[in-house]
Amino acid sequence: MEYKALLFCFIASILITPIVKKIAIKIGATDQPNHRKVHKIVMPRLGGLAIFLSFAAGMLIFFPKSDLTWPVLIGATIIIITGVLDDMMELSPKLKLAGQLVAAGVVVNGGVLVEFINLPFGGQIDFGYLSIPITILWIVGITNAINLIDGLDGLAAGVSSIALLTISGMAITMGNVFVVFAGLMMLGATVGFLIYNFYPAKIFMGDTGALFLGFMISVLSLLGFKNVTLFSFIIPVIILGVPISDTLFAIVRRIIQRKPLSAPDKSHLHHCLINLGYSHPETVLMIYAVAALFSLAAVIFTKATMFGAIFVIAFLVLMVELIVEMTGLIGKDYKPILNLIRDYRTRR
């Protein structure tokens, strides 16, 4: 049944996206080219609405009776309204954040809550009153992380699809029926949209799509891995390694440059790869590969011993550090490990 739901959302997204494209052009929800944008022509940017409508239809048809269905759909609707308004009139950061907080509050009130973590050697950490702000912080953080990587044709949709596939696959092994259905329906709707969004894109997902994908991935990852062991709580962080690391380094970069955290720039991972000479599709495919590697590492992490889990984390940290240094993600002069390797070779 879950695979029928996936197929339904996939086909629905393929059929709805061209309609949404026409609506976006008619109401003026378009993306104008500027010095920060890669595209050179005006593009419709309401594509996320097609993903949402396909997913919502799938949920109401295939999984309407779950206690989580309506809180998730209502929260997602608030996110969609926020995104549509932003795509039409460019909301202020405060208003966008307010919409995200309200949406997060709705799903938290509906039961999406991390209340405790079991420790690997016995006992547990009970978050108590902190469970609500921790949950909201995760939802808002991941929502914005996906939004930040939405800078190239097909990038956010592809990275999100890889994350959704991984979360759904793990939910199947754990028997989490709601996450399986919701995750696969989100996957189908996103891949259906990706057909129109991959380079050269015919439509952008806009903030409507980026915020919605980030919101749903954050909620599904919480539902899939909440109230588990301390090490298992790291799993969604690993799965979302690309958007999380890009966001963290954007914060570090802005602190170093003494810029506001909300200030836009053109130094995200995809910008850095293009500056190194890679083409638009090459850059997207390279980031897909890194996202897939993170997801594979997350799967290995779930099966590993304590030593193996530590090794996986160490490998990922080293990989991220090398990517940061090679691409200049923090700055062109930040290359401690590469300089160390160069000095070692020079001495030899």
Token readout for 22 is 């026409």
Q: What is each CA distance from 243 to 145, 198, 210, 291, in whole angstroms? A: 5, 18, 12, 9
Task: Cite the annotated binding site for Mg(2+) by residue number.
Answer: 147, 207
Q: Where are the alpha helices (DSSP H) in the chain?
A: 2-27, 48-62, 69-89, 93-109, 131-148, 155-174, 177-197, 206-225, 235-239, 241-256, 269-275, 280-303, 306-327, 336-347
Instruction: Identify the bridge partners of residue 44 per DSSP, sorted by sequence position.
Output: 30
Q: How many Å separate Cα 82 from the centre of its chain?
A: 17
Q: How far apart, in whole angstroms, are the C-alpha atoms of residue 206 and residue 151?
A: 10
Binding residues: 147, 207
User: In 10 A of CB 339, how many CB atoms?
Assistant: 12
Residue among 309, 336, 312, 313 nearest 325 (CA):
336
DSSP state string for 270-314: HHHHHHTT--HHHHHHHHHHHHHHHHHHHHHHHH--HHHHHHHHH
Q: What is the number of alpha carbons within 13 Å of residue 149 lying toward its C-beta?
A: 31
